[in-house]
Structure 1
Amino acid sequence: MIKRESRNELRKVRHRRIRKKVVGTPERPRLSVYRSLRYIYAQIIDDTRGHTLVAASSLEPEIRSGLTSTKDIEAARRVGEVIARRALEKGITRVVFDRGGYPYHGRIQALAEAAREAGLEF
């Protein structure tokens, strides 16, 4: 009998492989993205201390207001803008992008491009 792994298990394998190379430092923290079926989450993390420096998600009322859905590309774009603004307020300008094992298109790409346009470098 052949054991088939779910898409999420395969994503986790890809994420572990990416995390071997992508590490957040105090000078250049890691922008980590997680995507659920209903929301999208982003965090900027300093891996040397294990601290989350900035976070944003489409679950927050500030981001949800004016959106028709919390799970589409527009919501991801808004999360990218908010995370970039909060990072710049804390003095974070450069990050390393961790796509979390997800393909770089759709919501992940929209979040990354919005964060770049708002002033983050990666």
Structure 2
Amino acid sequence: MNTKMKSNNKKKLRLYIFKSNKHIYANLIDDEKEKVITSSSTISKDIKHQIKSFKNCATAQIVGKHIGLKIKKLGVKEIIFDRGKNLYHGQVKAIADATRNEGIIF
């Protein structure tokens, strides 16, 4: 995963979205410490049983909701959304909307 792209704002955590041919990954990264804080994906043990097919918008919503819940548990309210080279469309938009529905601001 390309974690070399760093945000200019060191105070906020960055939610980086990566899509492979089969799976979708959402990683919450602390650029100051250069460390992944938490993550969620279609291969996560917590949500694997909810997923019927690996890569579609419904699956992306499940991943987005799961990462949103994890971010809320950490006490973080505002993040930076990093879609990488992906267009803000389809699965990436579904992850963003589901994360916002959990109360995360970006």
- Alignment identity in percent? 31
Q: In the alignment, is the contact (CA less than 8 A) between 1:33 and 1:43 conserved in 2?
A: yes
Q: Which runs of structure 2 are paired with 1:46-61 in the superposition (5 Å)?
A: 46-61=30-45
Alpha-carbon RMSD: 1.8
Q: Which has the higher helix share?
A: 1
Please, which runs of 5 or more residues in structure 1 have no aligned partner?
1-11
Q: Could you say which structure has the larger radius of gyration?
A: 1
The residue aligned with 2:59 is 75
Q: Which has the higher strand share?
A: 2
Q: In the alignment, is the contact (CA less than 8 A) between 2:16 and 2:84 conserved in 1?
A: yes
Following TM superposition, the consecutive aligned residue runs of length 4 or more in structure 1 with deviations greater than 2 angstroms are 22-25
Provide, for residues 56-82 of structure 1, a one-character-per-residue CA deviation record: whole Å limited to 9, x for no partner: 111113212132201111111111101
Q: Which runs of structure 2 are paired with 1:1-122 in the superposition (5 Å)?
A: 19=5, 22-23=7-8, 25=10, 27-122=11-106
TM-score, reference length from structure 1: 0.78
TM-score, reference length from structure 2: 0.89
Distance 1:75 1:119 in 2: 19
For this pair of structures, how many residues does the alignment match? 104
Please, which runs of 5 or more residues in structure 2 have no aligned partner?
none
